[in-house]
Amino acid sequence: MPRPLGELEDAVMTRVWQWNRPVTVREVLEDLQQERSIAYTTVMTVMDNLHQKGWVRREAEGRAYRYTAVSTRAAYSAALMNEAWSTSDNPAAALVAFFGMMSAEQREALRDAVRIVQPAEPEGAADSADSPAAPPDAEGDSAAPGTGTGR
C-alpha cells in the first residue's frame, strides 16, 4: 500500500481526481490559490513528487507537462481502509468499531457494496432452507462496473 498522501499532495490529487482529465501545474496552482498563498514551484514540486510516487502519469506538452491520475480516489480510500484494518491485532473488533462510527447513509452504502461483491451462490444452494436466495441485481451481474469480473 502506498503511503498516505500529505496535506498538499491530497489537495493536488483532489483536483486531479475531480477534474478527471489531464491537468497542468498552472491550472492546479490557480485553483489552489483561491484557498491559500502558494508558489508555482511548490505545486510543480508536489506534482513531480506525485509522479515519482506513481500517483500520476505525465505527458510533455511544449515546455510543460499534463498530469493524469493513475488511480481513483475510491481506490486510494479503499487502500487506506484495508491498510488500517489489516494492521489491527483484532480485525473483527476494528470492523465493528468502524461500522459503529458510520452514519445510516454510510451503512446503507456498505450494504449495497457487500451485495455487489458477494460471490454468486452455488447451484442448488437457494433450495436449502438455511440458505436464503441472494437478491437479484438490476443487471444480472454481481460485479462492480468496470471490474471485468462479471459472471
Q: What is the Cα–Cα distance from 58 to 84, expressed in whole angstroms?
A: 30
Residue of 134 and 73 predicted with greater confidence: 73
Q: Which percentage of the chain shows pLDDT scores above 90?
A: 60
- With a CB cutoff of 8 Å and minimum separation 6, the contacts of 27 are 15, 19
3-state secondary structure of 142: coil
Helix axes 7-19, 73-86, angle to 10 degrees: 140
For 90-126, what is each residue's pLDDT tens digit? Answer: 989 988 998 899 999 999 999 998 999 887 666 655 5
pLDDT of residue 128: 46
Q: What is the Cα–Cα distance from 100 to 127, expressed in whole angstroms?
A: 34
Q: Where are the beta strands (DSSP E) in the chain?
A: 56-61, 64-69
